[in-house]
Amino acid sequence: MVKMACMQSLDIKFICLYDLSMSDEMLLLVDEEGNPVGQAPRWKCHSDTSLIQLVVHLEVFNSKGEIFLQRRSPTKDMYPDKWDTAVGGHVRPGEDPFEALVREAREEIGIDASKAKYFTKFLHRMPKETEVSFLYTLVYDGEFNIDHDEVVDGRFFSVSEIKEKLGTGFFTKNFEREFEVFNK
């Protein structure tokens, strides 16, 4: 979450001083096909839909066909406290999508995603941001080691349980879009 302290200057304009803990992180920008075209700070990417970010998402299934989802931290700048894809994150400049996926899986839910399989990529336009998402899948029945700074909770959901909650605000728009892609 970006904390802001604003003060009024003499000419009645507002000058804002940001806590740049995460908002100044540089994100990789891509075209609609996912080809790198530049970089921009996170705060700008999350407020300008013309800037397309490259992200990775991992759908984790258990051997029963249930889908593991994470509940995002209430301090996240996008979709706080909503249930979301097991793993999601930005591809850093100079990093390829699979490397980012393995890093994010280790950071967020403490699993080795090196056996994940590429599923598809798609363009997702949202009210505040635009992403090209590389979507991967993994069947995993092991233990999770959740990073509680990023993820509040995690558990497996049945497909029928997910279908009942779609469109209710329970999930992030990202996850609902991915679930739609999986069911085509």
- Where are the domains positioned within the chain? 26-182
Nearest to 88 by CA among 27, 120, 23, 135: 135
Contacts with 22 (C-beta within 8 Å, 6 or more apart), sequence order:
2, 42, 77
What's this model's pTM, rounded to 2 decimal places?
0.83
Q: Is residue 31 scored above 70 in pLDDT? A: yes
- Summarize pLDDT for 46-77 with one digit per residue, the tens: 899 999 999 999 999 999 999 999 999 898 87
Of 183 and 115, the structure prediction assigns the larger pLDDT to 115
Of 24 and 34, the structure prediction assigns the larger pLDDT to 34
Report phi then psi at 140, rounded to 5. -150, 125
26-182 has which fold?
Nucleoside Triphosphate Pyrophosphohydrolase (3.90.79)
- Summarize pLDDT for 92-102 with one digit per residue, the tens: 999 999 999 99
> What is the pLDDT of the chain when averaged over all its residues?
87
